Structure 1
């Protein structure tokens, strides 16, 4: 059995093109340029393989099958042009979506015509190099198809030539030369072996797919010599910028946005194309901030951790920290500004909560100190009076009063021990289910049935949240001896999320619903509810009693929007 050299060339070309595609794709699997080149290599490899099978076919039926199978070659020219567009104009694949139907609709039509009709290809013809394509002599479609492919190749080469003369990057210039040569060789050989030489009655098989060996060799050389497709600092930088958590914005000298990354788009809830071209002042909540930032940057050359706010399309203010630097060209002229934007919502929220906690702590400390000081002053007075009076006269009354004053000091110290952790740590996101179970684990209320239905709700609160649930559950043990069950559930309202803690014990009278949260009431009945309200208020959460007479106690914890998540 003789070996068909032309079929072998096409088969080798198929293997090499596919291997090149895998190699390039492996360098950067997220890059549109690498992905597109990989798809191009798959289609070109398939084309070369099917043509190899047709050239080496031993029967007419086999050759006819493989001839029809080669119809997918029509996607190679548009994929090539698509790749060139992405190579020379990296942003075009996202901005100029009209390119896709213009490129691929004709390819789809020609492919269908080759498979389903004889308007372009008819039957394979036997030549000295094996079976080759038989083209229709009755229609102009074969000429239209080849003209379309040639025009696409010419456009691709013109784009490369334009890019070669406009780019200042020497490496890209060299890469472009080899890409142009890699495209030109198959285009020229295909035109010669498909149309020109057969038209001159020169017997030669179609060598278009075999000529992709030249394409593979030229692109391979560009990869080796000029690092085409190889992961480089620019590629790494692009990936870092697209995946970094902080927002990035680049401005031109006029203060208009020329580039943003995904993080900034997400921050202001806008698409990239909605940001680019806009004055940067549009995204700042205060127009004056833009002027301050630009003026400071031009004066100092850089700016670090400037706190301001961004504006979302809905008008929401987003606290941020802005750091930036002026970009200058080789002549020292300002070419633009690059800025890094960090969302500090959580930081500002924590700072505000800590400030509130410290204020409350200072007040609580002052009040507790005053209570102890007054009690000691009174106790000292009673002791002096008792000392100066005859034995037995009103002595028992003084002793009783002195015991009461000592109890006041003890209660105040107990109170201070409870709130000493208030504001000690920043508020954090806490799972309500876990915090509740930890809180009641310190109590023996296992005789009561429990219903816990809060799912995976999390709230942003002081780390002492566990104490709040302890106080609520302890309130049942101390003041609702008839209760047999308790529950913790939640519901959402327009103003936020409501956690509902209720039991079926004694109801709290309407006149007492607010008093139970007062500090003086707490001194006599237990200070847990007063301190619980203080703990929750650090992050804007409120606590109230809303039970109805005869239906037990019901405590509602209202968590504002932004401080809970489900």
Structure 2
């Protein structure tokens, strides 16, 4: 007995051996990345192609219906492996595995396994094949099979799984990173070609009225496509990070809610927080997890919640919820990605730090009070000396008394400065309306000769700054009144986005006084520089720098001082429908 028995079958056998070789190369490449579940599924799929192609090549080269038919059941091992692994590969690749519970995997596999058993036991029931014969039509004799009802079940089930896989990939294409879109298109093509070939072969249409199953030969084209993806797109090297490594490894709770506030994805950490089961929660309303997941409670940004607000067993713990809206392709579709971070330890450290700061500040207040009392006592003694021992204006005693008095005054100013400086950065920054802060600071100004005007636009903006932001404007107004000269009469505050400034907001404080010499524009912000204490502008810059706000003097000497306050993107917003004052920055400027 010679093999191959039919010379006309040789080209087909060579093609099948070529397909087998390509599948083995692809399987080897997948095995190199076997640490990823997706790569392991890929190896199983290629193994199925190898079994199917190799056995079919052997079948085409031998004589006799019975001998050829003896290889058919073993080919179905490869066929079922390809169908099953191709579906699971698509599920994993598109990130839909949360919907694939253990029970679903068993049921999907059980159907194909049952059909495979039926193929091997067909001689007992003839539900899959009802007959076989060698047909002489065509270039060489070939095995012709008659099919029973189970074959229809096999075909329908295989088509259902493959089409579902293609639909998942289509949906994934629209949601994926552009880097992976071409990869996804090629992968869909690799699925479509064998599907189309099998449909044409089963239907017996067109050029497929030939004595062989075209599906394994279509895998040859798919194998070339997959080989191209692996080589040119580093398919198995830069696959989207497997979900169990990207999401399940997170220590933070993670869940995704759709536009109807239903849970469509959740990781193990979140399930542990809510003491819930994934099978019960997926697809269910999020309020089943926590009543705070409603339209009123979900908003962009971060918020703190106590553990007992989630469930009683978490009493004494604290969590930070970070919500990010996700807009779908349809404009009115909006879901949320929610991260839940346990900040209990952070909260405890923060409380301990706050308590330590409170004690330090209390001690500083007591010490400062005692020092000021001593300084006041020194000042009173100096006055008593002057009253009891009058001295000539040019006497050395009067000169020394003056030095002592100036030293006492400096000590008083420096101690007073520490009172202001100890409050810088203690409280968290908040959103503050520029117009309101300017008006409040202007109301505290004691000078009646200076008019502070906030232009209309100032009230349209809010900045994210230290609660001492009002002190900044007061210092600037007071500095203008004190050092602007005799003719100073107005200070104007203007706020507007910077043109070409990458989203920054510029606030200018302009007066009509004497202005500041060019050489002093930066030195005025140094501590202890100036005619008074020199701490006012130093403190101003320190307060602003907490949230990344910069200040510079940009005026012209003789035309008035002009302080330019530059608020970076993310630290300012329009004063329309603002979120709560304690929400952190991060909204797009002008949102």
Q: What interval of TM-score do these two structures reach, taking the shorter chain for normalisation?
A: 0.3 to 0.5
Length-normalised TM-score, structure 1: 0.46
Length-normalised TM-score, structure 2: 0.45
